[in-house]
Amino acid sequence: MFQTYVGPVQDASAIAYLRPETAQAIFAQFKNVLETSRQKMPFGVAQVGKAFRNEVTPRNYTFRSREFEQMELEFFIKPDEAVEAICGRAAMADEAFGIPPSGGSEPAKAGTPNPQPNWGWEAWHKYWVEQRIAFYEGIGLPRNTLVEYWQKPEELAHYARATVDILFKFPFGTQELEGIAARSDFDLSQHERCSGKPMGVFDEELRAAWGKLDEARKVELSKRYYEARLKYLTKTGVAPESAEKEAREDAEGLGKGQYIPHVIEPSAGVDRLILALICNAYHEDQMPDEKGKMETRVVLKFHPRVAPIKVAVLPLLKNKPELVKKALEVRDRLRPHLNVYYDDAGAIGRRYRRQDEAGTPFCVTIDFDTLGEKPELKDTVTMRYRDDGKQERLAIGELLDWLLPKIH
């Protein structure tokens, strides 16, 4: 980690470190968020920001760097024992996702169902894997450029019940974009142990449901919760006697509606995602130049959602004040709502190419028909598409309603 000193004196009491990940603040603030924003399980807290790791050997450019941008979601869920007490049983991933029971054919790709109260950790984990893949697809990374890798039991971190890596097929090899881990109640338990501040929640629904369980069920759920807690405590080095006592108290707490939430954590690198978006967008193709002769074109085919410039507004000619005036009007109409680039320098074909290189999905050209040279085309513009160079005519008044759904 990067070490520094807070204040004028550089002694041991002044040592501080730059955060090596964004997640910890979420755990440290978990109870504050829970209480001030009136949340109930399950809910999530997301954060994006810089993280710093003082790597001895930074390499692979953006894949092991000392400063990077990270985005993490901590999604807090009830332990399965609580779900079972409330709903009778906890739905596993195959049930929640409508996949036929094992023994059937290939597991069906079922889209993402709406979350249900009876979901156990496995269903929630699968849900976030699907949501994250849908996110990547939604910003333009095709499904066949992504790899979903389920870590094998022997690869899992000791606190993880399951971890899925999402990888992207970079031109120079397949590399990880994100990990989605089911981390049990490890994180909040550790924060509770080390800070001495309680991280458990009280769940009224669980307390009410528990009272209606028969005795055998209570014993069974308590026993399982006891064993899970004991396993955690033992692994983290608590002496056997204290661990047993603490786990017993935790199991008693469950019956009163108390537990430490479990966590599903999607954790992604932003810099490498940007690199993936650029690699995926980069194309060289053939397109006719001004005189109809084919030439090689460099084009960044960004999804409109992530294109830095959404639309370019171009008067056909720079030296016709009516065209420029109208083009500036169109620019000013669009600019409050999306990122617009205005360009009047050079031949129109050259300006299209500039926008192709910048990845701008839409170009709007103001020409003499816009001004009414053909009366039926007055106040319409040419909409030119980056990917295939095709053009169509659109009314200025409709432009915004036409553009906004494509970039949102």
Q: Identify any residues that bridge with 285 across adjacent strands, giving them in sequence order.
A: 297
Sequence-distant (6+) residues with CB within 8 A of 20 are 1, 51, 52, 53
Residue entry with tokens 């432009």 = 399
Sign of CA dihedral 127, 99, 146, 144: negative
Is 305 a binding residue for its own copies by CB under 8 A? The answer is: no
Is 391 a binding residue for its own copies by CB under 8 A? The answer is: no
Q: How far is the CB of 246 from its own copies (least distance, A)?
A: 34
Range in contact with its own copies (rule: CB under 8 A) among 149-157, 165-173, 288-296, 336-344 = 336-344
Radius of gyration of the chain (CA): 28
Comparing CA positions, the residue from 63, 19, 70, 18 lying closest to residue 46 is 70
Q: Indicate the pairing of strand 162-170 with strand 146-150.
A: antiparallel
Comparing CA positions, the residue from 258, 286, 240 lying closest to residue 199 is 258
What is the rounded distance in angstroms from the CA atom of residue 395 to the CA atom of residue 372?
12
Q: How far is the CB of 401 from its own copies (least distance, A)?
A: 11
Q: How far is the CB of 14 from its own copies (least distance, A)?
A: 10
Q: Identify any residues that bridge with 119 across adjacent strands, giving them in sequence order.
A: 91
Say whether 63 sits in a helix, a strand or coil.
Answer: helix
Is 13 a binding residue for its own copies by CB under 8 A? The answer is: no
Output 38 or 158, the one with its CB closest to its own copies. 38
Omega within 30 of 0 (cis) for the link into 42: yes
Is 8 a binding residue for its own copies by CB under 8 A? The answer is: yes
What is the rounded distance in angstroms from the CA atom of residue 152 to the CA atom of residue 312?
48
Q: Return the residue of 5, 61, 202, 385 that touches its own copies, per CB under 8 A.
A: 5
**For 33, what's the count of Cα atoms within 13 Å in the CB-facing half-sphere?**
18
Give yes or no for a contact between 28 and 191, defined as CB atoms under 8 angstroms apart: yes
Q: How far is the CB of 66 from its own copies (least distance, A)?
A: 7
Is 375 a binding residue for its own copies by CB under 8 A? The answer is: no
Output 6 or 46, the one with its CB closest to its own copies. 6
Q: Return the residue of 336, 376, 388, 390 that touches its own copies, per CB under 8 A.
A: 336
Is 347 a binding residue for its own copies by CB under 8 A? The answer is: no
Range in contact with its own copies (rule: CB under 8 A) among 4-12, 130-138, 229-237, 381-389 = 4-12
Range in contact with its own copies (rule: CB under 8 A) among 48-56, 126-134, 208-216, 312-320 = 48-56
Is 29 a binding residue for its own copies by CB under 8 A? The answer is: no
Is 101 a binding residue for its own copies by CB under 8 A? The answer is: no
Is 66 a binding residue for its own copies by CB under 8 A? The answer is: yes
Is 402 a binding residue for its own copies by CB under 8 A? The answer is: no
Q: How far is the CB of 336 from its own copies (least distance, A)?
A: 7
Q: How far is the CB of 119 from its own copies (least distance, A)?
A: 19
Is 12 a binding residue for its own copies by CB under 8 A? The answer is: no
Range in contact with its own copies (rule: CB under 8 A) among 5-13, 96-104, 176-184, 257-265 = 5-13
Beta strands in 126-270 (DSSP E): 146-150, 162-170, 173-182, 201-202, 258-259, 262-269
Is 116 a binding residue for its own copies by CB under 8 A? The answer is: no
Is 99 a binding residue for its own copies by CB under 8 A? The answer is: no
Range in contact with its own copies (rule: CB under 8 A) among 124-132, 335-343, 361-369, 389-397 = 335-343
Is 33 a binding residue for its own copies by CB under 8 A? The answer is: no
Q: Which helix (H) or strand (E) holds 244?
A: helix 240-255
Sign of CA dihedral 211, 213, 219, 220: negative
What is the rounded distance in angstroms from the CA atom of residue 381 to the CA atom of residue 316?
10
Phi and psi angles of residue 159, each rounded to the nearest 5 degrees, phi first: -90, -10
Instruction: Please give the residue ranges that form the binding site for its own copies (CB under 8 A).
Output: 2-8, 18, 38, 50, 54, 56, 66, 336-337, 343, 345, 408
